Chain A
C-alpha cells in the first residue's frame, strides 16, 4: 500500500471529508511530478477517452467527435484521496492484435509500461464491438476499471445496459457514466481508487481458448516464461503473442527486455509495492 505522497498535496479541510468526493479531486494538469500511481485510459476510437482524460486532469485539450483523434500518448495528472496519479491517454484502438503505429503505442504501454490501473472507456451504444477490446486488455492485466460511457446515448437509442451484470461477467468494476457532462466521474474515481488500494480485488475474465491444443501450448509456454522472467504478470498473453510470432514480443524475449521491464523502472516508475 502506498503511503500518501507528501503533505504538499494536502487538500483543504472540507476536501478531506469522505462524503465530499469531488473535492478530493485535484487537477494537476500536465505536470504530474512525483506521482504514486500510473493510470492508463484505453478504449476504442471515439468512445470519449479524451473527454474522461480531460475531466480528470483538468486539461482543456480540445476533443473532437472523431475516430482516431489521439495518435500519440498524452499525459496529465491529478490528485485524488492524497494519491497523485499520472494519467496516460492512449490512442483509440479496435484491438491490440494488429500492428499499426497507434495500436502499438497502446499495446506497448499496457504491456511494458505496466500501469497500476487501466480505465477502459466503453461506448454503451456499441457494447459488443468495444467488449472485444476490454477482453483483450483483460488478458494482459486485470487491474482494470470499465467506464461505461455514453449511457445517455444508449438510453435514447432504447438500449438498457445492466452494468452490475457486466461487472460480474468481466470481473472488474463497471461504472456507468456520461463523461461529457461529468456524470459518474466521482464513481469512476472511487472505483479507480479502490482498485489501486486493493479495496476491490479484481478477477479479470480470462478467455478460454476453445482449441485444446492451443490451450496446452499457451500453458506450456507460459510456464517457461514464468521461469525465465519471474515477476512478469501476463505470461499467458505473451505466450499467445509468441505463438503468433509477434516480432516485437519475440525481440523483447530474445534480448531480455521483457525481464528488465518487469523489475526495473519502466516508462514511468511504478510506485513501491502497492498491493501486487
Chain B
C-alpha cells in the first residue's frame, strides 16, 4: 500500500457513491446539531428585547431611512470631533510649537552645537513632530472612540448591509462593504481584510478600491481643511456644521467612487459573475464605554500617532535638508516645487502641495505639516521664518499662512480635500497590496489608478472653477 494507491482507492470509492453524497454529509451534521439543540435549548417566555432589536433593524437597514440615519450619524460624529478638537489643538500647539521650540532652543544654545545640527533636529525633526501631535491628537482622541462605539454597538455591519446591494449591483462582492469599512480605519488593514472574499476577481476589485476609504491618516487633513476654509465661509455659528458637512460629503464621495470604479473594473479588466453572499447581522450589544475609550486610545489613537511621529521625524529632517541645500541660489525644495508647479496649477493646487505628497508617500499623516513647513520656507518671507523652520503657528493661524504665503483659495482647499481622497495609497498599504496579490501588475494598478483619477478630477474642478470665474 502506498500513497498513490490510497488516492486511487479514494477515487474508486468515490465513483461508487451517489453523486450527492456530500449533501448527505452536511445533512447528517445538520440533523445532529438540530437534534442536540432541541434537547438542550428551552424557550421560556416570549422576550421583549427581540422586538426592540427588530424595530431598530427595520429602521437602520431601511432602503431609504437606513441611508438617512447613516448620514446623520456620520455627520454627528464629525461635528462632535471638529467642535471638540479646536480648543485642545490650540492649546497643544501653543505649548509644543510656540513655547516648546523656544525652550529647547534656549536650552541648547549654551552648548555650542553646530548650527546645521540644531537646524536639523530642532527645526526639522522636533517641529514637524510637535505639529503632528498638536494637529492630530485631539481629533483622533475624539473621533476614534465615537467610531469604535458605533462599531461595538453593531452598527457598522448594518452599514455594510445597506451597501451590500449597491456593491452587488456594481459587479463586486457584498463582502467588499466590510473590507471598505475596515479601510475607513486603515487601508492596509482593509486590504488584508479582503481575504474574506473568495473569488480572486472580486478580491482584486476590493483591493484596488480600498484606497477610496479615507483612512486614519487622512481624516485630519479633511477636518482641518473643512474647519479653516469651508467653515469660514459662513457665520461662526454655522461653521462647525458646514465643516462637518464637507467632511461627510468627501466620505460619501469615497463610497461613490468605490462603487463607480468597482463597476468600471468589473465591466472591463475584471469581468465575471458576481458571487451570491448572505450577510449575517450580528445582534446589537451595549457598548462598554470606558473599555472602548481605553482600547481605542491604545489601539488606534496612539498607534496612529506613533506611526505619524516615526514618519514625521525623518520627513521633518528631509524637509529641512531639501530646504537648506541650495543649488544656484535656490533651495532643492524650491527647484522641486517649481518643477511640479505647472501640474499643480492644472490641478488647482500648487507645486508645494504636490511636493508634500511626494515627501509624504511613507504616511498620509504628515501631509499637512509638510505643506505648512514648505509653504513657510518657499513662500514670500511674510512670517520671518528661517528656512525649514516653523514658528509660532497655532491652528488658527494656519489659514492666514496658507492664504497669504501660499496664495491659497477656496479652490485649493476643495481640491486638496478631493486629492486627499483620490491619490496613491501610502507606502505601507502599497506594500500590503503587494503581499496580498503577489503581483507587480495589480500593485501598480492599485497605486496609479487612484492618483490618475485624482489628477483628472481635480483638473476638471479647477477648469470649471476658472472658466466660471470663481477664482
Contact = CB atoms under 8 A, between A and B. Distances in A.
Interface in A234-262: 239-240, 242-245, 250, 253-254, 256
Interface in B139-195: 148, 151-154, 156-157, 175, 178, 192-193, 195
Contacts of A161: 40-41
Interface stretch (B29-37, B223-231, B233-241, B251-259): B29-37
Contacts of B9: 220-221, 224
Interface string A129-163: 10110111000000000000000010011111111
B24 A221 contact: no
Contacts of B441: none
B1 interface: yes
A158 B45 contact: yes
Contacts of B282: 46, 65-67
B17 A62 contact: no
B43 A228 contact: no
B249 interface: no
Nearest to B194: A71
B16 A62 contact: no
B24 A214 contact: yes
Contacts of A102: 195-196
A34 interface: no
B178 A128 contact: no
Contacts of A245: 10-11, 14
A220 B39 CA distance: 33
A231 interface: no
A169 B36 contact: yes
A224 B6 contact: yes
B24 A211 contact: yes
Contacts of A134: 33
Contacts of B18: 211, 213
A132 B29 contact: yes
B3 A254 contact: yes
Interface stretch (B291-299, B354-362, B396-404): B291-299
A132 B50 contact: no
B192 A169 contact: no
Interface size class of A (residues with CB under 8 A): 35 or more
B156 A64 contact: yes
A128 B34 CA distance: 6
B151 A66 contact: yes
A218 to B, nearest CB: 9
Interface string B423-439: 00000000000000000
B4 interface: yes
Given A60-B299, A158-B45, A214 B198 contact: no
B42 A160 contact: yes
Contacts of A99: 198
A165 B40 contact: yes
B433 to A, nearest CB: 15
Nearest to A97: B26
A210 to B, nearest CB: 6
Interface stretch (A11-19, A25-33, A113-121, A201-209): A201-209
A198 interface: no
A217 B4 contact: no
Contacts of B40: 127, 161-163, 165-166, 169
B196 A254 contact: no
Binding site secondary structure of chain B: helix
Interface string B443-463: 000000000000000000000
Given A159-B43, A169-B40, A243-B21, A62 B148 contact: yes
B114 interface: no
Nearest to B279: A67
A100 B194 CA distance: 11
Contacts of A165: 39-40
Nearest to A44: B280
Nearest to A181: B288
A208 B294 CA distance: 48
Contact of B154 (A65, A136, A157, A208): A65
Contact of A243 (B17, B197, B288): B17
A128 B17 CA distance: 28
B283 interface: yes
B218 interface: no
B14 A243 contact: yes
A245 B17 CA distance: 13
Given A60-B298, A217-B13, A228-B3, A157 B47 contact: yes
Nearest to A157: B47
A253 B148 CA distance: 46
Contacts of B112: none
A68 interface: yes
Interface in A186-232: 205, 207-211, 213-214, 217, 220-221, 224-225, 227-228
Contacts of A68: 175, 178, 193, 196
Given A224-B9, A243-B21, A256-B3, A66 B298 contact: no
A211 B21 contact: yes
B429 to A, nearest CB: 16
A65 B285 contact: yes
B6 A217 contact: no
Nearest to A240: B25
Q: Which 10 A/B pairs are nearest by Cβ-Cβ distance?
A: A131-B33, A242-B10, A158-B47, A217-B13, A128-B37, A100-B198, A71-B195, A62-B299, A64-B151, A65-B154
Interface of B: 1-7, 9-11, 13-14, 16-18, 21-22, 24-30, 32-34, 36-37, 39-47, 49-50, 148, 151-154, 156-157, 175, 178, 192-193, 195-198, 279-280, 282-283, 285, 288, 294-296, 298-300
25 contacts: A46-B282, A60-B295, A62-B299, A64-B148, A65-B151, A65-B285, A71-B196, A127-B40, A135-B32, A153-B283, A159-B41, A160-B44, A161-B41, A162-B41, A180-B288, A210-B27, A211-B18, A213-B17, A213-B18, A224-B1, A239-B10, A244-B25, A253-B3, A253-B7, A256-B3
Interface of A: 45-46, 60-62, 64-68, 71-72, 97, 99-102, 125, 127-129, 131-132, 134-136, 153, 156-163, 165-166, 169-170, 180, 205, 207-211, 213-214, 217, 220-221, 224-225, 227-228, 239-240, 242-245, 250, 253-254, 256
Given A214-B17, A243-B21, A245-B10, 6 more contacts: A62-B300, A100-B196, A169-B40, A209-B28, A221-B10, A256-B3
